[in-house]
Structures are given as C-alpha cells and as structure tokens.
Structure 1
Amino acid sequence: MSNPSHHSLITNPQSWKLLTFLFALANFLEVAVVAHFVLFTPAFLYTIGFSKSEIDAWTGPISALAFLLGIWFVPFWGVFADRYGRKPLVLRSHYVEMIAMALAAISHNVWLYLIARALTGFALGNTGLMYASLTETAPKHRVALALGLVNASAPLGALVGGLLGGLIVSEYGVHTLFGIDALVCLITAIILTAFYRETFTPKATPPMLTMLGDALRAVIHSPIALTIFGVSFVFSSAQFFSYPYLPVRIIEIVGERAAPAMIGATQGFAGVTTLLGSALWGALADRAGHRRLLAGLMLLAPVLWLPIFFAQDITTLTIGWVLLSAVSPSISSLMYTIISLNVSADKRGSILSMIYLPLNLAFIVAPFGASLVARNFEVRDVFLVSAALAFLALVMFAGNVGRTRKN
C-alpha cells in the first residue's frame, strides 16, 4: 500500500443513521429499477418480434453485456474515490442508470436496447463505496446492522419493483415501465445529490495506475479477501446461471400473456422471503457466528435449487424460488460482513471498493454458459447447474475457512 499520508481524507459529517437511511433508500430504488432489465428482457424481445428460440439464445448474453463492459472499470472506482471523493462516484451510478433506462424506453430494436444495457456497466461499483463510508461512520458495534439494513433494502426493492413492474408491463407494456424507471433513477440521484453529505479533503496522491496497483495488491495480499472473493465468484455464478432464465422458464409454463404478472409476483414473493431471511439470519449471525451461519446456509442452497429444477407448474416453481430467496442473498451479505469486520483499516477502503468484482465477473461468465445450456438442452437444466455450482462454493469455503480470520 502507498503511504497513508498520501491518501485523501473522506469524512461524512452526518449521523450514521441518516447515512444508512439514504443508502438503503437509494439501494431500494436502484434494485427495484435495474432488476427490470433482467426480469423483463424476454418480454421486450417478445414485443419486438423475437421467436422463442431467439429469446433463449439472446437472454443470457444480453444480461451479461453490461458486466462485460463495466467490469474493467470496477477497480478504478475506488481509486477515483480516493482522488475525487466517494459522493461523485455514487451519484455517477444513478445518473448513468437514468440515461440507460431512458434509452430502453425508446428502444424498438435490439441494438438500441443493447446500448442501454451496456451503459449500465458504467454504473457498477457504488455499493462497495457505500459500504466503505458506512464502515467508517457507524460505531463498530453497529457496522453489521448498518450494512445489513442496506442489504435488506435490496429484497424490498425486488418485492416492490417486481410486483409493480409485472403489473405495468401487463397493462401498459414494457416500454412504459422503462420510462417510469428512468424517472425513478432521476429522483434517486436528486435525493442523494441534495442530502448525502461528504467532506473531501484532497491530498497529494500517487499516479492513478500506482493507486490502482495498491488497491489490487490489497486484495491479493489479503487471505480473507482472496478467499471470500473466490467463494463469492462461484456462488454468484450459481445465482446468475439461473436468474436471467427464470422469466424464460415462467414463460414456458404460463405462456406469454400471463408471464409478466407472474414474473413480477414470483420476484415479489421472493423479495418478501429475502427480507424476512435477512432479518432472521442477521439476528442469528452474532450469536451463531458469521462463519458458522454462512456454512449452514451454503449447505442449504444446493438442496433448494433442486425443487426449482423439477418444477412443472408455476406454483411449485414459485415456492422453490421463494424458499431459495430466503437463504441465497444472506449468503452474500455474510461474506461481505466477514470482509468488512476482519480486514485491516488501511486496506478496508480499497478492498470494499472492489467487493462486487466477483459478482460482476460471475454475471459475465454464468449467463453465457446458461445460454449454451438453454439452447442445447432444456431451459430448466440451468437450475441443475446452479445446484452444482452452489455445492462447489460450499466445498471451497469449508476447505478455506481458516483463511477468513482477521489479518
């Protein structure tokens, strides 16, 4: 790491409670909006005249596109934050998403839609910056609570966004939904611009590439970060192998006309159980221990994928997805908490700024692989592959749990 005296001073002159509320609200609205790109891409493709085989082939690659373009910039966002402050980098995400949603709203061919999806790649990296600010602002005994509340806002956003999105697409069409999403992104950006306070004192900094090298070395030389990043990549691959194809599977079961409402309802119910699961597992984490609880939930995950694979009706599929959603997001949250509480203070900002790098990489690799499975076998087979990947992640964590202790 470079000498700490070269680092810029970033402080948040507001209470940790207000900061947590602002970040939770922003995360809630962002998830509610951005999830529509995944949930209703098949509906968009159907609207512009794609056949079922074309939808199966295009859904995965389209989902991966934003991450394919944006992942190269993820390491830079933490470096830019050290040089220019975190607030501009957090605001960047929401203004970029506003433009992307506006383009999607006027897209009537797949190429303009691809540009819109690609733009969202430049919105990646804000959550890690929020985590870094909360970790430094909240009292140590409240860090897990603050991070947990921000994480819990995501399933609530999925609940509201899924339900409302399905209703809007059913009644008014997918383009109307994207137009509303653009407005929500603008409102979110304005709220953060007005109320998120940050005191940034610039200091002399090394060259940009030197700072980037320092950030990457902070991850590489941290056994905790390296271990959790590896496990997170495999487990996230399990999630993203199936997530883009859940709407496609629902379309197969209920048909095109009924699909938007059912997609929204399925994701909405999943949001409820994710929220309940986050509260339950968060309350148990301090008592049971973060690592012990993480191992237990990771043991459940592969088993919960199997009913989804075997489901032949919408009720069974929804129940399976809802049960999985009570467990799966909390696994990622526990991984982030372990990193936040155990890496040294001088490395924390650099590591947390890249905490979503494994997830972003997984969202590139997994959907492309899922596309091959969906085209050459059956769509439902992606859920079986997800079960296998989740089991592999469990084996990796169990074999390396000793490397996740404080360093």
Structure 2
Amino acid sequence: MINWKVNLAVLWIGQFFVMAGMTMIMPFLPLYLKELGLQDAQEIATWTGIIFAGNFVTSFLFQPFWGGMADRYGRKVMLLRSGFGMAIVMTTMGFAHAPWVLLVLRLVNGTISGYAPAAVALMSTNTPRDRIGFAMGTLQSGAVAGTILGPLIGGLLAELIGFRYIFYVTGAMLFIATVVTMLLVKEKFNVEEAKKQPKVSVMQGYRDLRPIRQLIALYSITFVIQFSIQSSMPLMALFVEELHGTGELLAFYAGLVGSITGFSNMAAAPLLGKLSDRIGPQRILIFSLAGAAIFFIPQAFVQNVWQLMAARFCLGIFIGGLLPTVNSLIRTYTPVGMESRSYSFNTSALSLGNMLGPVTGGMLSGILNIRQLFLFAAFMLAVNAVWSYRTLMKAPANPSIKPGE
C-alpha cells in the first residue's frame, strides 16, 4: 500500500471514532435527562436539542481559526490536537450531574474539535488527483458511519453498562484512535514554506474565498443537508417509543433506528465516490439530494419500527453521495495553499446545520410532530437539489479564479 492508502485507512478509523463519540449519547439522551430529574416532554425535547447542538455552536465559531492554523503548521498537528483534546473532554462528561454540565462540556468539545476538516484537507492534498473522489467518499463514509452508528453503539452500551460509563468508553476510543493517527499517518507539508506566507485573519480568509461563487454555493448546500437530516433527531427516541411502546430494549431500538442508515451509507459512499470520478461529482450530488428527499417522505407514514428502519436504510444510500461530493467539489474550486481554510468554512456550515437542525426540531415539537418534520426535510432537500443544479451545472465557471490543482 502506498502512503495515501495507509492515510485513508487510518483516518477512516479516526473519523469513525470521533463522530461516533460525538453522537453516541443521542439515542439515550432524552432517557438520561429523565434520570437527571427532567419530566416534562417538551422540556426534555428542548434540552436534548440544545445539548446536542452545543458542540456545533462553538465548532461553527472556531473551525475557520483552526483551518488557518492547519494551513500554516500542517494538518496532522491539528488532528492530534483535536483528538487528544476531545478524548479528555469526553471522559469528563461521565462526571456530569445536571443538564447544564453536559451543555458546558459539549461547548468545550466543539471549541477544540477539528479532526474532520483536518483529515479531509490532509487527504485532498496527499492523494492522486484521479483518486480524490474515491478517497473523499471512503473517508466520508467513516465520518457518516460514525455519526449514524454512534447511536446504535450508544444504545447497546446503555443496555449493558448504563449511561454514565459510555463517556469513559468513548474517551478511551478517541485516545487510541489519535495514538494510531500519530504513529501511522504521513503528510507532505513544508512547514517552513508555509510560515513564509503572510498571516491571514479568519475574515480575510473568507474575503479571499468569497469571489469563488461555487464555494459559497457549496457551503450553503452543506448547511441545508445537515439542517434537514438533523432536524428530526431530538424527537427520534420519543417517536420510537410511540411506535414500539415502553417495553424492554427501547434504548436499543432507538439506537438502531438512528444507525440503520450507516450500514447502507458505508457501502454506498465509496461506490458513489468512485462513480463521481468518472461522471463528475456535480451529477452525483444532485442525484443524491433528490433520492434523499424521496426517502424522507415514507418516514412520515410508517406504522411500526421496522417500516421506519426500512425507509431510513434506503435514505442512507443517498446520504452516502452528499458530503463526499461536496468535499470533492471544494477541492476543485479552492486555490492552492488555502485547502484547510476552505474546508474549515465548510465544516462551519456543517456545524451550523448540525446546531440549528436539532434546536429547531426541538423548539418546533410543540407545533409540528416528527412526521411533519420528515416532510419538511424532504421539501428542503428537494429545493437544495434544484439549487445545486442551477449553481453547479448551469452557472458558468468563474474566470477570475483558477481552481486548485
């Protein structure tokens, strides 16, 4: 195996553990909040959305800063900083005794996070150009699989060892993944040459990228994707409880419903990434947005847990073609030397969607039920597909900025 394949294998594992650790608490969080003393369903839904989104509030604010640091000092350094930092914070969450403590620690975790954009930037600049689509698809499958399989793992662990010990297990997994990254990942990066470049503030970095209208469009697309997918998550455990009842294995079923898309996603993302290398990532992106919109619709009409699982499994196939193609397109339009900064702005857009989606879903729970939120997500993704077609397929290329080679 040549170095880029070793990097890809190690970073896939790292992405999986990082994203699984960040989402592992989701299936049992409403149940855990009941254990901490909350009883009102509306209050539980609101706290669930706020705690889950807290990580993404500070991540949204700090990602561009860490992206600029990565462009100056290297992406591997940012991987290690983020990985070890999150391992410590995640372990500390096991000592929380009130909802506000979990919220504060999630805010801290978002401040020091940055593993995902650093991994994407490192792969995009250390992979042969004709294999970038495959690499981005495979790498993203690790991140999305972690995001979606995390709830399943969390649900299983909740049944086996209880809620609090899950945080200790997660911290240990993050620590091990970061040690493996430190030992095996290789990066071609000239630190001395990068330090010679003038220091650029976050706002100046954004102003430098703003004239590339395709990048701004891609950031908007990322936000809508995440907002649509995450808006129903705070209510998912309660929806499973409505379909299944309050019997045994409720936490397990809640985790399985949140995770089932991960199985199809892991298989589909590398295949769609390889296909994007042949026919273009723009076409794969539009196809995947349309497919995701279609398979949100049947979720609004399911009558049992197994029907919900089937619909979400099909949804996962199309999720596998979303963020990987966005990342491939960002690499295409980003000037050389600004890769980490460009990806960090996209991560901020992703974090903003992850932040506002659950919060909005939780706040709307008193007005809309989860079935109506599924239809709302389908509508947003369909509109996003039309927007992508008009901005990426029909709009002329920007003649003033040469895309990164």
The normalised TM-score by structure 2 is: 0.89
* Structure 2: gaps of 5 or more residues: none
CA distance in 1, matches of 2:11, 2:120: 9
Q: Which of residues 233, 243, 250 is equivalent to 2:233?
A: 243
CA distance in 1, matches of 2:184, 2:155: 31
Equivalent residue number for residue 339 of structure 2: 348
Contact 1:227 1:403 in 2 (8 A): no
Distance 1:354 1:119, change over 3 A: same
CA distance in 2, matches of 1:205, 1:278: 36
* Structure 1: gaps of 5 or more residues: 1-13
Deviation at 1:327, TM superposition (A): 0.8
Equivalent residue number for residue 28 of structure 1: 16
Q: Which of residues 92, 115, 127 is equivalent to 1:138?
A: 127
Helix, strand or coil for the counterpart of 1:376? coil
Deviation at 1:18, TM superposition (A): 1.6
Distance 1:155 1:66, change over 3 A: closer
Deviation at 1:159, TM superposition (A): 6.4
Distance 1:131 1:277, change over 3 A: same
Map Cα deviations across residues 54-95 of structure 1 (whole Å, 9 max, x no partner): 212222122221212231111101111233332222122222
Once structures 1 and 2 are overlaid, which stretch shifts more, 259-268 or 342-351?
A: 342-351
Equivalent residue number for residue 8 of structure 1: none
CA distance in 1, matches of 2:139, 2:262: 14
2:29 maps to amino acid: T
Q: Which of residues 281, 298, 306 is equivalent to 2:272?
A: 281
Does residue 192 of structure 1 match 2:192? no
Deviation at 1:216, TM superposition (A): 0.9
Deviation at 1:283, TM superposition (A): 3.5
CA distance in 2, matches of 1:69, 1:255: 36
Contact 2:49 2:359 in 1 (8 A): yes
Deviation at 1:261, TM superposition (A): 0.7
Deviation at 1:272, TM superposition (A): 0.9
1:66 maps to amino acid: N
Contact 2:156 2:252 in 1 (8 A): yes
Contact 2:8 2:123 in 1 (8 A): yes
Equivalent residue number for residue 47 of structure 1: 35
Contact 2:244 2:305 in 1 (8 A): yes
The normalised TM-score by structure 1 is: 0.88
Map residues 253-332 of structure 1 onto 2, 5 A cutoff: 253-256=243-246, 257-332=248-323
Deviation at 1:225, TM superposition (A): 0.5
CA distance in 2, matches of 1:53, 1:162: 22
**What's the RMSD between the two structures over aligned residues?**
2.3
Contact 2:290 2:382 in 1 (8 A): yes
Deviation at 1:121, TM superposition (A): 0.9
Contact 1:373 1:379 in 2 (8 A): no
Contact 2:76 2:122 in 1 (8 A): no
CA distance in 1, matches of 2:143, 2:130: 22
Does residue 61 of structure 1 match 2:54? no
CA distance in 2, matches of 1:230, 1:75: 16
Distance 1:104 1:251, change over 3 A: farther
Deviation at 1:291, TM superposition (A): 1.5
Map residues 8-407 of structure 1 onto 2, 5 A cutoff: 15-51=3-39, 52-158=41-147, 161-198=150-187, 200-202=190-192, 203-207=195-199, 210-256=200-246, 257-401=248-392, 402-403=394-395, 405=397, 407=403
1:27 maps to amino acid: Q
CA distance in 2, matches of 1:140, 1:300: 28
2:334 maps to amino acid: V
Map Cα deviations across residues 161-203 of structure 1 (whole Å, 9 max, x no partner): 4443222101221112121111111112222233334455233
1:54 maps to amino acid: E
Map Cα deviations across residues 19-53 of structure 1 (whole Å, 9 max, x no partner): 11221111122122222133332232122232233
Distance 1:180 1:347, change over 3 A: closer
CA distance in 2, matches of 1:224, 1:404: 10
Once structures 1 and 2 are overlaid, which stretch shifts more, 318-327 or 148-157?
A: 148-157
CA distance in 2, matches of 1:251, 1:234: 28
1:372 maps to amino acid: M
CA distance in 2, matches of 1:82, 1:158: 26
Helix, strand or coil for the counterpart of 2:198? coil
Helix, strand or coil for the counterpart of 1:50? coil
Distance 1:264 1:366, change over 3 A: closer
2:357 maps to amino acid: A
CA distance in 2, matches of 1:267, 1:71: 24
Contact 2:45 2:234 in 1 (8 A): no
Distance 1:159 1:66, change over 3 A: closer
CA distance in 2, matches of 1:71, 1:261: 31
Helix, strand or coil for the counterpart of 2:30? helix
Equivalent residue number for residue 11 of structure 1: none
Deviation at 1:224, TM superposition (A): 1.7
Contact 2:232 2:370 in 1 (8 A): no
2:312 maps to amino acid: W
Deviation at 1:228, TM superposition (A): 1.0
Contact 2:64 2:202 in 1 (8 A): yes
Deviation at 1:158, TM superposition (A): 4.9
Contact 1:60 1:370 in 2 (8 A): yes
CA distance in 2, matches of 1:255, 1:106: 30
Deviation at 1:273, TM superposition (A): 0.7
